[in-house]
Structures are given as C-alpha cells and as structure tokens.
Chains A and B, each alone.
Chain A
C-alpha cells in the first residue's frame, strides 16, 4: 500500500501549456517536500511546505499544501522542455513513533518542444 499517491502517473504535454500534478495521502504531514529527478541522477529538492494552506512559488512552479496537510499540488505555468523529469513528493511519515522520509509514486512529466 502506497502511503503517498501521486497523479497522474505519466503526463506528456506541449511546450507552453500549463499543468498540475497531485500528491495525496490519508495521513497528516508535519511537512512535505517536492523533488525532481532527471535520468541518471538522484532526486533534487525543489521546495518544502510546512503550514496548511501554504503556497510557495519557484519561478513558473507553484506549490500548495492542503489545509488539512494531507495533500499537495504542483502547478507549472508555460511548461518548458527543461521541466521534463520525474516529480516526487515526500513526507516524514510516522511508524510506531519513528518518522521516516517516504516518497510518493511519482509523476513522470514530458514536455514536447
């Protein structure tokens, strides 16, 4: 059972279009992170959100943390080929009192020039 479900699993769009990907869970997070992974590399952190309802912007990327801190979204405006990659959300999920950094299922994004 995946604790962090991401959707869609795959997304292929034309350059210049807008898109939104989602990260959902039935668990509450103290914080949530978004990473991007390119082929042959490890994931790299894009942003951390901490407060319910928080919105953070990173150039053309907008991240939102749900009010209940169970979900998050990533919106990309005017997508560019350089945005291509695997987008992963991650959160510290508790397991018998110990927190571990758990990653979502990922959204593989392809931007077509």
Chain B
C-alpha cells in the first residue's frame, strides 16, 4: 500500500480564491481525519469521518470550510473563500476504529497552503 496520499503537496493561492485539498486514505481503514498544523496552535483536528460519515466537525473553523467523503477511498477539504489566516499545513490521516479506540493513524505528507 502506498500509504495516505494527499494532493497537492504545496498550494499558493490568492485571498478569496477557492482551495480544494484531496486525500486518498489507506484501503481498509474506516476512519479519516483532517488536521491543520500551525506553530501557534499545533495539530488541530478539523473533522473526522467514520465509515464515510462525518462524525465530528466541531473543529472546522467556520462556514468557509467544508469536507466531503463520497466514498471510502477519497475525501476533500475545501476552503471558500480562502483567507491569509488559513495558511498552514493540512494533514489527512486514516486509521481503523476499534472498540477501545483507534489503531495507528497513518498520515499523509500534508499540503502546505499559503494564502497571499
């Protein structure tokens, strides 16, 4: 397995533009997470899917952010319109949820987003 695949690796966009980040989780995993990492706030959980269903989106900053998981092998995180404060590294991770928690979370290499 190639691991969690994210695209693009880097994205530079102008304020106000729409940005779409993509993620392909590891086959067989039933949980998918979108995290945002900054120096100031660390690794923040934005949204969590279990079996393709959004379970907790309480970390999504505001209505400008939306995430979808149309099937078990693909998820997107969209920001519209983007703002400079959205600049961060966005990670997608997948795992297998068990009865007592989660197995290892495998992370993609992240998308470094810069909004100018």
Contacts and interface: CB of A to CB of B under 8 A. Distances in A.
Contact of B95 (A30, A42, A88, A101): A101
Q: Is the interface of B mostly helix, strand, loop or mixed?
A: strand
Contacts of B48: 98, 100-101
Interface stretch (A12-20, A43-51, A58-66): A43-51
A43 B107 contact: yes
Contacts of B58: 95
Contacts of A30: 100-101
A103 interface: yes
A31 B101 contact: yes
B93 to A, nearest CB: 7
Contacts of A98: 48, 50, 55-56
Nearest to B47: A100
Given A42-B109, A42-B110, A44-B107, A103 B45 contact: yes
Contact of B35 (A50, A99, A103): A103
Interface string A28-55: 0111010100001111110010100000
Contacts of B4: 42
Nearest to B9: A40
B105 A101 contact: yes
Interface of A: 29-31, 33, 35, 40-45, 48, 50, 88, 90-92, 95, 98-106
Interface of B: 4, 31, 33, 35, 42-43, 45, 48, 50, 55-56, 58, 91, 93, 95, 97, 100-105, 107-110
27 contacts: A30-B100, A30-B101, A31-B101, A31-B102, A33-B104, A33-B105, A35-B105, A42-B91, A42-B93, A43-B43, A45-B104, A45-B105, A50-B100, A92-B101, A92-B102, A95-B56, A98-B56, A100-B33, A100-B48, A100-B55, A101-B45, A101-B48, A103-B35, A103-B42, A104-B42, A105-B42, A106-B43
